Copies of this chain bind each other. A is one copy, B any other.
Amino acid sequence: MRNTYIATLVAAATASGFFMNAAQAQPALSDAQAMTADRLIDAGLEDDLAWDILESLTTEVGPRLGGSPAEARARDWGVAKLKALGFKNVRIETYEMPYWARVSESAEIISPFPQPLAVTALGRSKATPEDGVSGEVVRFPTLLALQAAPETGLEGKIVFVDEPMARTQDGSGYGTAVAKRSQAAVEAGKRGAVASLIRSAGTDSHRNPHTGGALRGGGETAVPTAALSNPDADQLARALERAKGPVTLNLNLQVETKETVVSGNVIGEIPGQTDEIIVIGGHLDSWDLGTGAIDDASGIAITTAAAKLVGDLRGKPKRTLRVVMWGAEEVGIYGGDAYAEAHKDEMDKHVLAAESDFGAGVVYRFDTRFSEEALPKAKVFEAALRRLAITPGNNMAFGGADVGATRDLGVPVVSLRQDGTDYFDLHHTPDDTLDKVDLGDLRQNVAAWAAFLYIASEMDGDFGRLPVKEDAQ
């Protein structure tokens, strides 16, 4: 297998003038290109633009829930920022979406140990009646335990799924956490419960509960649902242990919904010499609780600053560098889906897509999702990124939530994998604020993205196509 596609590549590379390392028979950069990539890394490591963008968005707009007036202000901010930086074809591409916003939220133990608990409504949760719902708390250590419970027996109860989240570098604990967040309300409702509470999908011990979307699909049976901060989940678990009888709790969630509001993606470009496009970006919206510094103003800042560095090189890049500030990611990936829908007729011009959406920790690994034939090209990126302590990854890159629909239409993706050890301490909480970002780490990201983007733009030949997903738009 390997021999076959290396042989193919040798032919392709020779034809395209791309340099090959004879010993390894791999594509490689020209000396001039390698020097340019290195200069971009140097520049990225001294970059101040990303910080300025990050500070500007988080300060001047602040929280910007998908579909809200604040997100509209963020779009105006994005247009002004991209224009001021010299991007071309700056525009907003609008789409419609349903709207959900929290109005108020509270929880308190009624008996036997009356006290308030720190709680936050999960995205798309139903509201409770005006006075909340009250019921006896029934604890399940995991979502699996709830799923294994009989289909009756929780009538009138408040389900509490107390499953903890694992702290990992690669964020792999999040999958289980999302399952809990999405399914607790559905499973609780099926069994007659009046509400569900989860231990926050987060790894910190602060009294800032983690919000996040619940109820993707199959939400017909869902009851009002909210997350307790980790210390409050501890507290409720202790109360259940120390109480001699039932622990009753009142949960009050008030929300606002609208069937349709207008949101949009903000787009700017550094036009290339060809009509091929590399699309990168971050998502412009944030949850409402914090100012979305790590999620995802950092991604906006990193990708915009990196594209600007490449755009500032002499001459046009070979391919168009398109920066997208996707809207309404948190509340349902509406912007990413709308982008793919709006651009489905030019997907064959999309050579590569990637999103920065995992905070501002350093990039430690470079993953690709190229066609098998194009896979040796990953080595070219890996070689350039090695001085940033970025190691080679695998060919199963996720790419980012907002490029999911684009990827499903066959466009290859990469992931510049960031260290997420601390990411879920802050993710989706009020604590997602600028002070949590380290300038040095942010610069390492800019350096990595600039080098990646330059190489992706200049490399001869493309990265193949991925299988088109059956149900893709």
Q: Is the CB of B59 within 8 A of A238?
A: yes
- Chain B residues within 8 Å of A290, by CB: 207
Q: Is the CB of B115 within 8 A of A70?
A: yes
- Chain B residues within 8 Å of A70, by CB: 114-115
Distance between Cα atoms of A208 and B118 in the complex (Å): 12
- Chain B residues within 8 Å of A235, by CB: 58-59, 62, 291, 433-434
- Chain B residues within 8 Å of A113, by CB: 59-62
Distance between Cα atoms of A386 and B151 in the complex (Å): 62
> Is A242 an interface position by the 8 A CB rule?
yes
Distance between Cα atoms of A112 and B77 in the complex (Å): 13
Q: Is the CB of B207 within 8 A of A431?
A: yes
> Is A173 an interface position by the 8 A CB rule?
no
Distance between Cα atoms of A236 and B109 in the complex (Å): 35
- Chain B residues within 8 Å of A435, by CB: 205, 230-231, 234
Q: A208-B208, A238-B55 are in contact. Are A115 and B433 (CB under 8 A)?
A: no
Distance between Cα atoms of A208 and B73 in the complex (Å): 27
Distance between Cα atoms of A430 and B112 in the complex (Å): 21
With both chains docked as a complex, state the minimum distance between the C-beta of A427 and any C-beta of chain B, in angstroms.
14
Please, what's the 1-or-0 string for A424-465, where 1 marks a CB less than 8 Å from any CB in chain B?
A: 000000110111100000000000000000000000000000
- Chain B residues within 8 Å of A234, by CB: 433-435
Question: Of all chain B residues, which has the CB nearest A69?
Answer: B114
Within 8 A of B (CB), among A102-117: 109, 112-116
Q: How many copies does the complex hold?
A: 2
> Is A316 an interface position by the 8 A CB rule?
no
Q: Is the CB of B207 within 8 A of A208?
A: yes
> Is A63 an interface position by the 8 A CB rule?
yes
Q: Is the CB of B242 within 8 A of A56?
A: yes
With both chains docked as a complex, state the minimum distance between the C-beta of A429 and any C-beta of chain B, in angstroms.
8
Distance between Cα atoms of A208 and B59 in the complex (Å): 18
Partner of A431, one of B62, B231, B242, B434: B231
Please, what's the 1-or-0 string for A30-63, where 1 marks a CB less than 8 Å from any CB in chain B?
A: 0000000000000000000000000110111111
Identify 15 residue pairs between A and B in the complex whose beta-carbon atoms are under 8 Å apart, listed by A's number. Answer: A60-B113, A62-B114, A62-B235, A63-B116, A70-B115, A205-B433, A205-B435, A206-B208, A206-B431, A207-B290, A207-B430, A231-B431, A231-B434, A231-B435, A234-B435
